[in-house]
Structure 1
Amino acid sequence: MSADSRESATGRAGGLSGMVWLTWRQHRWALLSCLAMTAVLVGWMVYLSIDMTRLYHQCHDMQCPPYSTQHAALFNGWGPVLQSEILGLVVQYMPLLIGVFIGVPVLSREHEQRTLLLAWSQDVSPVRWLWTKLTLLGLFVVTLTAAVAAVTDHLAHVHADITGASLFGDKVFPITGMLPLAGSVCWFAVGVALGAVIRRTLPAIFGVIAGYVGLLLGIQWRYPTLMTPASFYLHPDQPGPLASDPNALVVNGDFDIAPDSVSNLFYASGREVTATDLFRMCPELSDHPSGTMIPDCIARNQLMTLVTYQPSSRIPEFHGIVAGGYLGLAAVALAAVWLIVRRTSLSAG
């Protein structure tokens, strides 16, 4: 073992100051990179928020009309709307980067470099070593991602005002509120846990990536129904829920007509329309089941569709549910790390 590795494992001094120095010495490049990227990201989003708000005020706090100068400035080419959407995508994957570059190396690198025997044989116990490092790195992650989350949430609201996009949409919802913060804490802890279990950096990184993508897809699939949706029957000449609540999330409201089946069409009494009934009422649909005559047929027979949706007033509750899931997973990961460290044999390094 080189003198530099030995010094990195033991630190310049015991106690908290030694652990602070050790944590900085081992993770300084990742921490500096994250700090620089966060500064650029936050500054860029603040600038976009100011620029887009200025143009929005010029349109009298309404969506700018097409072909206006303000609309062109917002949407044409590499405009602020496109930039804000790209930055939102960066924020969405920020927890993954934190898990890969800050979480995984905490223990996997110690195993790969076989420095655990030296590090844990000093006056700092393995458990104290673990919790001190996790606390220091965790505070760093929380501070940076809290700043990013606050600025991103503001930018998302400005973007929604300008474009009419719903804050409940699957691309906007994951980056609003404190979800970027909760997600970053979660994947930092999961990264540490996978590094402790697998003991190799590269396989642990692939594990974090696979877990992140799987959980992200699962959340996008399930979050619209985390609470029982509100519902109502809608006539074709009535406005939908987005007319009065533009940030609502429509779970289902479409109907489907095929030659042998019909779904989500109802009589005024609430009884569902069958394919036989529909083609009897509207024989013209037999030749063109998906043509332009469908709205006329539905209106003429006073048929309705069942619309299920989540009102925007539930967004804070959904944030709490998803954030609670993230933090619960983080707690499980940290408990697993604690058990692994307690049972790790020092002779194994």
Structure 2
Amino acid sequence: MSTIALRGPARVVMTQHRRALQILAALPVLAIAVLVGTWLWTDHVADAFAATGCSVEHTVPSCGDTVRDFLDRQLWMRDVLNWSGLLMMVLPAFTGIFVAGPVIARELESGTYQVAWSQSVTPARWLAAKLAVPAVVTLASVSVLSAVCAWAQTRENAIHHPSGRYSREVYGSIGTVPVGYALCMLALGALAGLLLRRTVAAMVVTVIGYGALVVALNAVRMDLWPTLTATFKPTSDYRFPDGAVDTGHGWVTSSGERLPDEACLSGLTDLKQCLADKDITHFSIDYHPASHFWPLQLVETGILLVLAAAAVALAFRVLRRRHG
């Protein structure tokens, strides 16, 4: 984004926080370089390993060191993906901290906002610029980062592992959820800055708010979309669907009553007797299939965007009440 193309408060915001916004905009480029480079390297390692004639499944003594080196390099790719997922999970917090502290609270704390307001810039326009510029850069950067992480997960094949896409590290780094978190924290950071008008306090409250939001949504995530239930006899050869995630399981009696898994633990030697005593005929599993990934993502993103819109509306209301 060029400051020449911007006018008024937006240009001021871009100039004041140019370095931080440039770093945020450069993150996708760095992620592409790291993830693509890592994948090319591990792909080369895989080809070299295949040329040796050794096998991971059927290791012979002469291939021991070769197999260990190959697995170590594959594990390194997994570590890179884990760090990428961690970055995507903490990036929204840094976005909120940036807006809460340097962008808004610092100006209110130091009084420099009065310079802008004395030059035919209304408080509402001042706040709109403070939100719009970081929002555009954040939206572009996080969207690209999410797409790159999804591509890397697919190449590494972890995304096709049972429940792989539903793990916290993967789920929080791909799809629309990272964008929702980033925009929500941007709005909550702005609200914290306006309410507290102290840089450090606003930043601390934003971090606490992010932690509470993550914990709350992680707790209810699997309940945001109806699950499917599979019921089968304990002696059957039922196969759990590929790419699904188990959300709960238990026993079902002949009358249809559902009992918890602890009612008859499968490790007991008298399992058959327990099943007969409690009139249990089937085992049940509640799960989300692979096809529920996007409905869950979109519902959670919708919740985050609603919270973001509410925070922005409240921020403008606070600004209007205090400064007209």
Q: What TM bracket, shorter-length normalisation?
A: 0.7 to 0.9
User: Structure 1 residues 120, 210: CA separation in 2 closer, same or farther (over 3 Å shift)?
Assistant: same
Greater helix proportion: 2
C-alpha distance in 1, partners of 2:162/2:69? 16
CA contact (8 A) 2:104 2:130 kept: no
State which drifts further: 183-192 or 132-141.
132-141
State how 1:266-345 maps to structure 2 within 5 Å: 266-267=252-253, 270-271=256-257, 291=267, 293=269, 303-345=281-323
State how 1:157-236 maps to structure 2 within 5 Å: 157-159=154-156, 160-161=158-159, 164=162, 166-236=164-234
CA contact (8 A) 1:229 1:310 kept: yes
2:251 to 255, 265, 275: 265
- Quote the sequence identity (%): 23
Q: Quote how far apart the aligned CAs of 1:203 are.
A: 1.0
| Paired residue secondary structure (2:286) | strand
Structure 1 gap ranges (5+) = 1-11, 254-263, 279-288
Q: Quote how far apart the aligned CAs of 1:292 are.
A: 5.3
Q: Quote how far apart the aligned CAs of 1:294 are.
A: 5.7
2:23 to 21, 33, 37: 33
CA contact (8 A) 2:93 2:207 kept: yes
Query: What is the TM-score normalised by the length of structure 1?
Result: 0.75
| Paired residue secondary structure (2:181) | helix
| Paired residue secondary structure (1:293) | coil
| Paired residue secondary structure (1:148) | helix
- Give the corresponding residue for 1:9: none
C-alpha distance in 2, partners of 1:265/1:164? 23
Q: Quote how far apart the aligned CAs of 1:313 are.
A: 0.7
Q: Quote how far apart the aligned CAs of 1:115 are.
A: 1.3
| Paired residue secondary structure (1:123) | coil
Q: Quote how far apart the aligned CAs of 1:83 are.
A: 1.7
C-alpha distance in 2, partners of 1:302/1:78? 43
CA contact (8 A) 1:99 1:208 kept: yes
Count of aligned pairs between the two proteins: 308
CA contact (8 A) 1:75 1:81 kept: no
C-alpha distance in 1, partners of 2:91/2:234? 42
C-alpha distance in 2, partners of 1:273/1:177? 36
CA contact (8 A) 2:109 2:197 kept: yes
Confirm whether residue 42 of structure 1 aligns to residue 42 of structure 2: no
User: Structure 1 residues 220, 201: CA separation in 2 closer, same or farther (over 3 Å shift)?
Assistant: same
User: Structure 1 residues 274, 131: CA separation in 2 closer, same or farther (over 3 Å shift)?
Assistant: closer
CA contact (8 A) 1:224 1:249 kept: no
CA contact (8 A) 1:186 1:326 kept: yes
User: Structure 1 residues 229, 56: CA separation in 2 closer, same or farther (over 3 Å shift)?
Assistant: farther
User: Structure 1 residues 44, 113: CA separation in 2 closer, same or farther (over 3 Å shift)?
Assistant: same
Confirm whether residue 125 of structure 1 aligns to residue 111 of structure 2: no
CA contact (8 A) 2:191 2:315 kept: yes
C-alpha distance in 1, partners of 2:302/2:323? 34
C-alpha distance in 2, partners of 1:178/1:53? 28
C-alpha distance in 1, partners of 2:160/2:226? 30
C-alpha distance in 1, partners of 2:72/2:138? 34
C-alpha distance in 2, partners of 1:308/1:53? 37
CA contact (8 A) 2:225 2:295 kept: no
Q: Quote how far apart the aligned CAs of 1:163 are.
A: 5.5
1:73 to 70, 75, 89: 70
| Paired residue secondary structure (1:308) | strand
User: Structure 1 residues 129, 114: CA separation in 2 closer, same or farther (over 3 Å shift)?
Assistant: same
Query: What is the TM-score normalised by the length of structure 2?
Result: 0.80
1:87 to 75, 84, 88: 84
CA contact (8 A) 1:153 1:177 kept: yes
RMSD of equivalent CA atoms: 3.5
User: Structure 1 residues 22, 297: CA separation in 2 closer, same or farther (over 3 Å shift)?
Assistant: same
- Give the corresponding residue for 2:248: 252
CA contact (8 A) 1:30 1:102 kept: no
State which drifts further: 170-179 or 218-227.
170-179
Confirm whether residue 98 of structure 1 aligns to residue 95 of structure 2: yes
C-alpha distance in 2, partners of 1:273/1:162? 32
CA contact (8 A) 2:245 2:287 kept: yes
Amino acid at match of 1:39: V
Structure 2 gap ranges (5+) = 51-55
> Cα deviation per residue 1:203-259 (whole Å; 9 max; x = unaligned)?
1111111111111111111111112211122334445664x32x2121012xxxxxx
Q: Quote how far apart the aligned CAs of 1:315 are.
A: 1.1
Amino acid at match of 1:293: T
